[in-house]
Amino acid sequence: MTNGPIRVLVVDDDEALCQTLEAGLVKRDFDVTCRASGEDALALLDTSDFHVVVTDLHMAHLDGIALCQRVAERRPDVPVIVLTSFGSFDTAVAAIRAGAYDFISKPVQLDVLGIALRRAAEHKLLHEEVRRLRSAVAVPPADGEDLLGTSPAMRAVRDVIARVADSEASVLITGESGTGKEVVARMLHKTSRRQGGPFVAVNCAAMPEPLLESELFGHTRGAFTDAKEARVGLFARATHGTIFLDEIGDMPLGLQPKLLRVLQERVLRPLGGSSEVPVDVRVIAATNRDLESAIEERRFREDLFFRLNVIHIELPPLRARGGDILTLASQFIAKVATREKKSIVGVSPSAAEKLVGYSWPGNVRELQNCVEHAVALARYDQITPEDLPDKIRNYKSSHVLVAGDDPSELVPMEEVERRYILRVLQAVAGNKTAAARVLGIERKTLYRKLERYGLGS
């Protein structure tokens, strides 16, 4: 979360309590500095940076409430946690109104304080990220920078694109629905030597087999009923360019040998035709299916898989991209707000926490939908939690307790394994290859376990 330990400024005129808090927090890997008065703490904040301030409520001269107000005015980016007497609800409310991030009742439980400090430090980092994004969002991405994000996973994707853009090798893009597979395909085309040619996209799951064959390879006049004139197929239309075969995992089995021949021989025969036509296209395919499992289940040809999978690009799910969520959200907000003629400059820190904490099963596509919803409802110049869809605003990360919801439940080891395999399969949307990789076992071993536990198919 942070580079190095979380830096905490403890403010209390009780020296013994200060020493106790410092000793306990240092053991929990915090970097702690103590000051005995609010005035000294403010002077230090003018010259030094801290992630969180912890202050006692009752101090001579400048008390905790007044210190909260001063910090909120001078360093609004630094959250303040106030220590209050047990049960003093009114003073806790006063502290929050004065700008405190949180309050903790005395006697202080160090584990509880540690959790609150980490949460407050994360809030500070989110606040800084939101501020950075507000300044950056006014600058539109340069041409070709369609893949936003600085997470290691996305940097790796852009690196592969840069290295293979000018290659003629086929590319297979995999990833969950909504991760941006067509964006990657278009970027590959736009940065290749074929960029002057056409980019032709076709969804292999959207048409029945006879129609898809005609669309891809074309047909001659009279090739079938209603074929009153010849039709040029998409492969021919993509000459000197790129053809993008989306949802390749759903291509009918009967069409796969014909596609394989096109990839192998670089020629095709239109439906009803008697002669072959040369093909000059680069093929990029994409799928959210587990093709290796489909091969084992005889739903996809292994030889076609190898022809398509010369270069493999795997797109990470949005939930694995960390701060990229806010980067993407800010760009989407800028675009939608401009279109809707609304003066929205970004997302509030509290809304940012909701966005980062959500699991995003629909990935980037779901985030776009969320932003459309939020911009439509927004009443202020920032997106707030109240503007977000209910399922995102109310989302709570589910705990992982493989033995069941009751911690006292004791089950056999095989049952623990069965439940955990189920959890992993759910997390990877049923992709058995990905599940085997997460579990650290061979795919064939996973199939045997699924059969044994009655989880097959």
**Is residue 213 predicted with pLDDT exceeding 70?**
yes
- The pLDDT score that the predictor gives to residue 169 is 94
Confidence of residue 256 (pLDDT cuts 50, 70, 90): very high
159-314 CATH:
3.40.50.300
- Return d(Cα 215, Cα 246) in angstroms, integer: 14
**How far is it, in rounded angstroms, from Cα 400 to Cα 2?**
25
Strands 277-278 and 267-268: antiparallel
- Rounded to an integer, the average pLDDT of 55-64 is 86
Give the phi and the psi of residue 174 in degrees, each rounded to 5.
-120, 160
| Measured distance CA(243)–CA(286) in Å, rounded | 11
pLDDT digits (tens, 9 = 90+) for 25-45: 999 999 999 999 999 999 999
| Architecture of the structural domain at 7-136 | 3-Layer(aba) Sandwich (3.40)
Q: CB within 8 A of 143, min separation 6: which ones?
A: none
Task: Inform me whether the pLDDT recorded for 403 exceeds 70.
Answer: no
Q: Residue 98: what pLDDT? A: 81
* Rounded Cα–Cα distance for residues 427 and 179 (Å): 15
pLDDT band with cut points at 50, 70 and 90 for residue 400: very low
Asked if residue 442 has pLDDT above 90, the reply is: no
Q: Is the pLDDT of residue 11 over 90?
A: yes
Angstrom distance (rounded) from CA 426 to CA 346: 33
CB neighbours (10 Å) of residue 5?
15
pLDDT at 311 (0 to 100): 95
**Residue 328 identity (one-letter amino acid):** L
Residue 109 has pLDDT above 50, yes or no: yes
Q: What is the mean pLDDT of residues 53-57?
A: 91
Whether omega before 107 lies within 30 degrees of 0, making that bond cis, reads yes
**CA–CA separation, 264 and 266 (whole Å):** 6
- 49 DSSP assignment: -
User: Within 10 A of 49 (CB to CB), how many other CB atoms are there?
Assistant: 11
State the chain's maximal CA–CA distance in angstroms. 97
Report residue 66: phi and psi, to 5°. -65, -35
Q: Which of 279, 266, 184 is nearest to 238 (CA)?
A: 279
What integer is the mean pLDDT of 384-398? 86
Does domain 399-457 correspond to CATH entry 3.40.50.11540?
Answer: no
Residue 215 or residue 457, greater confidence? 215
DSSP H or E segment with residue 357: helix 349-357
Helix (H, G, I), strand (E, B) or coil at 428: coil
- For the full predicted model, state whether its pTM sits above 0.75: no
pLDDT digits (tens, 9 = 90+) for 309-343: 999 999 989 988 887 898 899 889 988 998 989 98
Res 349 pLDDT > 70: yes
- Joined tokens for residue 369: 């939908």
Interstrand relation of 31-35 and 52-56 (parallel, antiparallel or unpaired): unpaired
Q: How confident is the model at residue 301 (pLDDT cuts 50, 70, 90)?
A: very high
Give the separation between CA 208 and CA 271, rounded to whole angstroms: 15
Distance CA 69, CA 100 (A): 8
The whole-number pLDDT of residue 147 equals 77
Q: Which pair of tokens denotes residue 148?
A: 């936003």
Q: Which of 39, 23, 109 is nearest to 74 (CA)?
A: 39
- pLDDT averaged over every residue in the chain: 85
- Provide the pLDDT for residue 229: 77
Sketch the domain layout of the chain as residue ranges. Answer: 7-136, 159-314, 318-393, 399-457
Tokens of 257: 């040998």
pLDDT given at position 384 = 93
CATH for the stretch 318-393: 1.10.8.60
- Which range is least confidently modeled, 171-185, 334-348, 354-368, 417-431? 417-431
Kind and range of the H or E run holding 334:
helix 324-340
pLDDT value, residue 383: 92
Least confident of 285-294, 377-386, 433-442: 433-442
> Is the fold of 318-393 the same as that of 399-457?
no
**Pairwise CA distance, residues 263 & 136, whole Å:** 43
In 3D space, the residue among 181, 202, 160, 190 whose CA is nearest the CA of residue 311 turns out to be 160
CA dist 81 and 103 (Å) reads 5
Q: Check whether 409 has a pLDDT greater than 90.
A: no
Percent of the chain with pLDDT over 70: 88
Query: 122-155, pLDDT tens digit by residue?
Result: 888 776 766 665 554 444 444 334 578 888 889 8
